[in-house]
Structure 1
Amino acid sequence: MSPKLSRRAALKGAVGLATVPLLGFTAEPRRGVVAADPFTLGVASGEPIPDGVVIWTRLAPRPLAEDGRGGMPAWPVEVEWEVADDEAFTRIAQRGTVTATPEAAHSVHVELTGLRPGGEYFYRFRAEGYLSPPGRTRTAPGPGVLAAPLTMCFASCSNFEQGWFTAYRRLAEEEPDLVLHLGDYQYEYAAREGAVRRHVGPETVTLANYRQRYAQYKTDPDLQAAHAAAPWLVVWDDHELDNNWADEVPEEPQPDYLARRAAALQAYFENMPLRSSATPRGIDMRLYRRVEWGALASFHMLDTRQYRSDQACGDEYRSDCPERLDPLRTLTGPAQERWLLNGFQQSRARWDLLGQQVFISQLDLKPGPGRGFNPDAWDGYVANRDRITAGMLNSPVRNAVVLTGDVHAHWAAEVYERAGDPLSRRVATKLVTTSISSGGDGSDTRADVDEILPDNPHIRYFSNRRGYVRTRITPDEMRADFRTVPFVTRQGAPVQTGASFTIADRLPQLL
């Protein structure tokens, strides 16, 4: 009898063909054009709806090939897939075949439908006689379902060169129902001296560069474990393309920037478990969307890079200039802002969560007299932020929580009707996840942050360690645990909780 594949085994990465039962696949395996295991990048799922989910893989027997093709031939390859009710794949729910094409780097995105709401499933792929590692996923609850709790983890900022991805492994071990990744999934830089691990290839500029870089990241077993553990909702920040980019404006002048942007978008889509509705069209890609988790939660996933005005104040950190107050300046773009405000007006969820990239609360970065802000965050787009917070306040939104990445540190804060005025009404709470590895080991505190805390009384917690945030959402409350690892410059770090907060229903306050 074939051994049963435990969920823990799935988290340990690739599983060989001899140890995985083949009861579901009916045809005999065939080996042809692919001479080595093509499933080196693992599997993933995402975009859950009540009757379906996206399952993903990408074929790459030589993942670090310089041409970005992963060692695959220049012609299509058939890929079988199957979804089961059980870990041993003895009760097959669905199966089918999809074509992986060289134009999409031999990635596949299978958009499943017809599954049961709120169900747990297991999935895998087979191509050219090779079997992928399995993944665990789940569908969203049906409309109106409120009672079931949701365990959701969110993360951001995984720089391969600055540390091991142990926090992804610890996140996978939480066995969450859903994972949000809020950007900086990979970094564009060429290899740097003194790195913990070295990037392969030059700074990413071409499509081949970006494909190779994603492949390098996805060979990491800890990242593969996190993808295999639960469905993901993803949005990008800047390093998926280029540091601090703003719509069609790069951080520094560079030739062929728009071609670089198109290449980065194409590679991002190829390597993420996204729906076909997100397929890039040249330099554009519709990434903002809304995902419902029954009646319990509505996830508003924002794109704060593709439509923004160029950063104010010359993008100078700790600056304060009249330009940032210009009512025409936008972080979201007019269309996305209207979409978000309309979503607030139509909300029927118990919890409205914004999955986005940059700091929304005002943060005065200059200790003592005077003020200084980060123009790359919402502080550089004040009027846009004011309209968003007013939209939360003057709508049926019952509990607004803003989820954030980007800044490589844990923060917890409260959002006020008038930014920086703790005497005005509370509108929302804000939870900021630290990085997976960016910034290295870090520390529990940081002197420059300690200096500014007296000027920012809405900030309730800060930690400069690496990690992620684990939340448990019920109809009555949302609990947030700031999970940290003590080091990333070597492997094997344990995880602990640095702080915990509870947000009670109808009370936008961190308790």
Structure 2
Amino acid sequence: MNHVQDHSEELRAAARHFGRRRFLTATGAAAALAFATQLPAAGAAAAAELDVRRVTEDPFTLGVASGDPLPGSVLLWTRLAPRPFEPGGGLPPRRVGVRWELAHDERFTRIARRGLATAHPEFRHALHVEVEHLDPGRVYFYRFRVGEWTSPVGRTRTAPALGADPAGLKLAAVSCQAYHDGYFTAYGHLAREDVDVVFHLGDYLYEYAVDAAGGARAYTDRTLPAAFNRETVTLEDYRLRYGLYKSDPDLRAAHAAHPFVVTWDDHETENNYAGDIPENDVPPEEFLLRRAVAYRAYWEHQPLRRPQLPDGPDMKMYRRLRFGRLAQFDILDTRQYRSDQAYGDGWHAPGPETEDPARTLTGATQERWLLGGWRASRARWNVLPQQVVFSERRDRPSADFTVSMDAWDGYAASRRRILAGAESAGIENLMVLTGDVHVGIGLDIKADFRDPASRTVGTEIVTTSIASGKNGADRPSNYDRITQANPHVKFYSGRRGYVTVALGTESARADFRTVPYITTPGAPVTTAGSFVTEAGDPGLKPA
């Protein structure tokens, strides 16, 4: 990236309001973006209401989801799209009344809450229903209705009361689901796991083209529309791509089975972007327009609450969830506020730029928020769900090693501030959850990665990808180099899958769950490795 990062309010205002002639470049792409990114608020156009009797096809093709559980509240999501592979989703640009129900039982004989919500065409008929005044720490079932159509039943749960002291909590972590690289088989298995919450750590979709055969899926019984066979740039491109991804039955099953807590990485917008700076040489105002439409589509298709509603090219994704006194989750956004990558986007030897204290991965405001939250935390486990590898990861066991400029290794001073803040706050049980790299890794977080004998101050659990990287291998080709160069790496596997982590009062157990193949459907799931870390004694040990 060669651009100078420009945080000016002028560019942001342009991306919010979209119509100012002076911000339109002479390129056709920019003009198309400007045309495609008129984003009124819901109801701004005063659209007429649709007679639900005119909905003659199943509008719940993208399933249901829930997210961000609080002690007395759940967020319920769906999007009405009878034909999700078509612009508009197969509905006219009219408001649609949607009934919703939340029950204590799967048969809906004991209704806890019910209501009527409006699906607006401005949000492509997506719904975000925040249900309040619920009991903490309990399971609920939910569904939506439009006319004669009823959605699949979803299962969710509220968080324990803030003062509660639960004996345990089981979470799953997932990331990186490139549709064109294979089937989402792992999600089918995750849907059948007994977990309380799923953390999605980024790359929910990829902006790259998907051909008519679905890439590595090599469909012979269907042909995908040509609209998918190009990179996502416009708002409609991103909306259609979410429609494609959410058409996957295993993904829909996982969302229906468990509440999700989502955060993004780069591919939801564009590969390796950094703050306002795009991957390629395009004008900054054009990239901010692209970022705005990508963020808008992300909001429309994820179970997110009102505070995450985007404002043009800005969207506050970092937030905090508490599960009683057992766990505090500080969900980070390491993409939107970061400084430009040092020495390019790839792997490079550490140097003055990586050590520059002025460079940041989180931005100053988010960093203060995180450290302040740790100082106030009374939780047994402080868990940091975030995107890119936190621990040092050298590529070879020699003095000429390189590290990833896109991960925390490229922002070493930023990492040192986070670790110093954790120590100052007295955080004893720090756990970092990570995605991004398409491999499963278990690491000890060291006080000084240059000294293998230094204190272990936390644990990092890196989940492999759901699909990105195709089938992978049990033993990646660089296994020997990575494990020899990084003695704090305790586990390393290249298969697809997910991680479950069972947090208890005395210890936590991580199970790396993998499938042997994804380029054809139906693979079984196995546990590739299991590790424990003791409360008050950080570091991974074989279970």
Q: CA deviation at 1:323?
A: 1.0
Q: CA deviation at 1:320?
A: 3.0
User: Aligned to 1:195, which of 215, 229, 232?
Assistant: 215
Q: Which residue of 2 is the match for residue 20 of structure 1?
A: none
Tell me if 1:128 matches 2:118: no
Q: Which residue of 2 is the match for residue 53 of structure 1?
A: 74
Q: Secondary structure at the match of 2:414?
A: helix
Tell me if 1:229 matches 2:240: no
Q: Which residue of 1 is the match for residue 198 of structure 2?
A: 179
Rounded Cα–Cα distance in structure 1 between residues aligned with 2:331 and 2:101: 29
Task: Give a deviation string over 1:367-421, Cα, whole Å, max 9, x none.
Answer: 4231201000001101110000111122132310000000000000011112332
Q: Secondary structure at the match of 1:150?
A: strand
Task: Give a deviation string over 1:201-244, Cα, whole Å, max 9, x none.
Answer: 42111110000000111011100000001111000000000000
Contact 2:52 2:96 in 1 (8 A): no
User: Aligned to 1:62, which of 68, 83, 96?
Assistant: 83
Q: For 1:81-480, list aligned pairs within 5 A.
A: 81-191=100-210, 195-197=215-217, 200-254=228-282, 256-480=286-510
Task: Give a deviation string over 1:33-60, Cα, whole Å, max 9, x none.
Answer: 3221100000000010111110000000
Task: Give a deviation string over 1:422-480, Cα, whole Å, max 9, x none.
Answer: 22221110000000010011111123231232121101110000000011111111100
Q: Root-mean-square deviation (CA), in Å? A: 1.3
Aligned length: 480
Q: Secondary structure at the match of 2:350?
A: coil
Amino acid at match of 1:62: R
Q: CA deviation at 1:195?
A: 1.8
Amino acid at match of 2:395: L
Q: Secondary structure at the match of 1:336?
A: helix
Amino acid at match of 1:270: E
Q: Secondary structure at the match of 1:508?
A: strand
Q: Secondary structure at the match of 1:184?
A: coil
Q: CA deviation at 1:319?
A: 3.5
Rounded Cα–Cα distance in structure 2 between residues aligned with 1:383 and 1:243: 24
Q: Which residue of 2 is the match for residue 5 of structure 1?
A: none
Rounded Cα–Cα distance in structure 1 between residues aligned with 2:151 and 2:192: 20
Rounded Cα–Cα distance in structure 2 between residues aligned with 1:307 and 1:288: 11
Contact 2:57 2:82 in 1 (8 A): yes
Q: Secondary structure at the match of 1:75?
A: coil
Seen in structure 2, the aligned counterparts of structure 1 residues 103 and 71 have a Cα distance that, compared at 3 Å, is: same
Tell me if 1:504 matches 2:534: yes
* Structure 2 unmatched ranges of 5 or more: 1-50, 219-223
Rounded Cα–Cα distance in structure 1 between residues aligned with 2:242 and 2:333: 20
Rounded Cα–Cα distance in structure 2 between residues aligned with 1:160 and 1:246: 24
* Structure 1 unmatched ranges of 5 or more: 1-29
Seen in structure 2, the aligned counterparts of structure 1 residues 95 and 201 have a Cα distance that, compared at 3 Å, is: farther
Rounded Cα–Cα distance in structure 2 between residues aligned with 1:293 and 1:138: 12
Q: CA deviation at 1:258?
A: 1.1
Contact 1:33 1:73 in 2 (8 A): no
Contact 1:142 1:294 in 2 (8 A): yes
Task: Give a deviation string over 1:133-176, Cα, whole Å, max 9, x none.
Answer: 00000000001212332111110000100010000111111031
Rounded Cα–Cα distance in structure 2 between residues aligned with 1:190 and 1:158: 14
Contact 1:346 1:396 in 2 (8 A): no
Contact 1:201 1:213 in 2 (8 A): no
Q: Secondary structure at the match of 2:483?
A: helix
Q: Which residue of 1 is the match for residue 35 of structure 2?
A: none
Q: Which residue of 2 is the match for residue 75 of structure 1?
A: 94
Q: Which residue of 2 is the match for residue 35 of structure 1?
A: 56
Q: Secondary structure at the match of 2:377?
A: coil
Q: Secondary structure at the match of 2:217?
A: coil
TM-score by length of 2: 0.87
Q: Secondary structure at the match of 1:354?
A: strand
Contact 1:347 1:396 in 2 (8 A): no
TM-score by length of 1: 0.92
Amino acid at match of 1:497: T
Amino acid at match of 1:206: T
